[in-house]
Amino acid sequence: MQEFFQKALLALIGLVIVDALLAFFLIYESYLSVPLQARPDAGAGWHYLTNSDKESDGASAVRIPDPQREQLRFEFKLSDAGKYPFASASLVLHDSKGRFALADWSKFSDISFLAKCAPSNSMVFGISTFDPKVSKVGEFLTYRTPGTYFSCNKDGVPVALDLTRLTIPDWWFYRVQLDLSHQGYALDKVAKIAFGTSSQSPLHVDSYLEISELTLHGRDYRYIAALVLILLASWVGFAVWFFRAHARALTASLNSRMKKDLPLVAYRQLTLEPYKDKEKASVLRYIATNYTNTELDLESVVSATGTNRNKVNELLKTELGMTFTSYLNKLRLSEAARLLAENSGATVSEIAYSVGYANVSYFNKLFKEEYGCTPKSFRTIASQRDPAPGVESG
C-alpha cells in the first residue's frame, strides 16, 4: 500500500501543477484588451466622421487634419452663433461594403485612452447603440447615446471609463418620445464612438483634441467556465482513479496478508517442528489454543504453563519477533480475517467476540491498523477477489 500512496501522491502533485498552469493561462486569456483604430481606407472597420452645430444653424468649425492617421486628432473652433454650440469627431463602424455595421461589446466593461487637448478642456465621450424599438439604421440621433465627461490637457490625461455606467441625455428621450425612466442600454449593438465638446468648452478659440491608445477592456467568462469544467473533470477523474486504484491495491495487499497470516503461526510451527523444548512448546500451544478467550493475558499464560513471565516474552521475541500482546492480536485478527473472508452470516460483532475481543470498537481499530480497512470493507473486498491459493474455509 505504501507504493500505491507514493504513486497517488506523485499523481496528485502533477495534477495540482497542471491545473495551476491551466488556471493561470485561462484566467489570463479571460482578460480582454482590444485596441480600437480607424482605417484610412474604405475597408470594413472604424472610420472617421465629424459633426457640428452647422446642421442647426450654428457656425462652429471642425476638421480632421490627417484622415490617414490611425489615432484620432481633430481641430475645432466653437462659435456662439448657434443656440447650442458643439463640435465632435467620431469613429463609425462600416462593413466591407461600406454599410453601417454594429459591434458586439457585451464582453467589455471599460474603455481607456490618452486624451491630449489645448486649451485644457472638459469634453464628452459617448457611444451610439442601436435600439431595435426606436432606432433607424444610419440615423444616429435615433440611437441610444449614453455618455459621460472627461478632462484633458496638452500633456495628456489617461482616461478610464466604465461603459456600463454611462448616462443617456434627456434630449434623446424627448426626441424619440420615450419616458425618461427607460435609462437602460445594451452594448451588443454599438455603432459609433464619439468625442465632443461640452458646455464648458471655450468659444472662439482654436482648439484640438487628440485621442490615442483607445482600448476596450473586459472579461470573457467562457474561459472561466471552461476552467471550472476542466478542474471539475480533472478532480472527478482523479477521485475515480484513486478509489479504483486504491481498491485494487488494497485487494492485492489483502491477498498477500491472507496468504501470510491465515495459516496460524503457532499451528504451523507446532506441526512442522517437534519442539524439544517442552516449556517452549507448552507456551505456544497454550496461546494457540486459548487465544479466543477474552480473559487471556500474560499472567494467565504464566499461571497455566508455569513459565517465568520474562521467559514468555523472551521466547515470543526470539521465535516470532513479537511481544505477547502483538502475537495475541495477530492470532485473533488472522482468525477474524479468515472468518470475514468466508463471508459467513456472522456479524462483525459476533466475529469480534468469537476471536476474543469483548470491545467491538477496539477490534475495529486494531483490524484497520492491521489490514488498512474496516472489517466490513474487508469482507466486501474479500468477497470480490479470487480465493487465495492454499486457503481453505473451516
- For each of the domains in the chain, give its residue range(s) and CATH number, in order of start: 36-219 (2.60.120.430), 262-384 (1.10.10.60)
Where does the pLDDT of residue 383 fall: very low under 50, low under 70, confident under 90, or very high at 90 and above?
Answer: confident
More confident residue, 311 or 210: 210
CA-based nearest residue to 331, from 307, 311, 301, 308: 301
Q: Which range (23-27, 118-122, 200-204, 245-249) has the least confidence?
A: 245-249
The predicted-structure confidence for 330-339, as pLDDT tens digits, reads as follows 889 888 888 8
The predicted-structure confidence for 165-198, as pLDDT tens digits, reads as follows 999 999 999 999 999 988 999 999 999 999 999 9
Q: Are 360 and 349 in contact (CB under 8 A)?
A: yes
Where does the pLDDT of residue 152 fall: very low under 50, low under 70, confident under 90, or very high at 90 and above?
Answer: very high
Cα dihedral 83, 185, 138, 67 sign: positive
This prediction has a pTM of 0.64
What is the spatial distance between Cα 356 and Cα 365, in angstroms, rounded to a whole number?
A: 15
Q: Are 132 and 186 in contact (CB under 8 A)?
A: no
Question: What is the average per-residue pLDDT within 275-298?
Answer: 82
289 grid coordinates: 489454543
Instruction: Render 147-176 in DSSP notation, one character per residue.
Output: EEEEEEBTT-EEEEEEGGG-B--HHHHHHH
DSSP H or E segment with residue 243: helix 221-261
Using DSSP's 3-state secondary structure scheme, residue 277 falls into coil
Where does the pLDDT of residue 255 fall: very low under 50, low under 70, confident under 90, or very high at 90 and above?
Answer: low
Q: Which range (104-108, 248-252, 354-358) has the least confidence?
A: 248-252
Asked if pLDDT for residue 270 goes beyond 60, the answer is: no
User: Could you give the angle at which helices 375-384 and 324-341 cross, rounded to 10 degrees?
Assistant: 50
Q: Which range (188-192, 238-242, 274-278, 370-374) has the least confidence?
A: 274-278
For residue 165, the 8-state DSSP code is G
- pLDDT score recorded for residue 261: 55
Where does the pLDDT of residue 110 fall: very low under 50, low under 70, confident under 90, or very high at 90 and above?
Answer: very high
Asked if pLDDT for residue 389 goes beyond 50, the answer is: no
128 grid coordinates: 451610439
Cα dihedral 126, 130, 133, 136 sign: positive
DSSP H or E segment with residue 209: strand 207-219
In 45-197, DSSP assigns E strands to 45-52, 61-63, 72-77, 87-94, 108-118, 121-129, 147-152, 157-162, 190-197
User: For 289, phi and psi rounded to 5 degrees?
Assistant: -100, -10
Asked if pLDDT for residue 388 goes beyond 80, the answer is: no
- pLDDT score recorded for residue 393: 39
- pLDDT score recorded for residue 144: 96
What is the spatial distance between Cα 357 and Cα 20, in angstroms, rounded to a whole number?
A: 49
CA-based nearest residue to 187, from 131, 225, 141: 131
The predicted-structure confidence for 51-106, as pLDDT tens digits, reads as follows 999 888 899 999 999 988 888 999 999 999 988 899 999 999 999 998 999 999 99
- pLDDT score recorded for residue 192: 96
- pLDDT score recorded for residue 267: 45
Cα dihedral 373, 378, 380, 384 sign: positive
What is the spatial distance between Cα 90 and Cα 159, in angstroms, rounded to a whole number?
A: 17
Please list, in sequence order, all residues whose beta carbon lies within 8 angstroms of the beta carbon of residue 240, skipping any fewer than 6 positions away: none
- pLDDT score recorded for residue 108: 96
Q: How high is the mean pLDDT of the chain?
A: 87
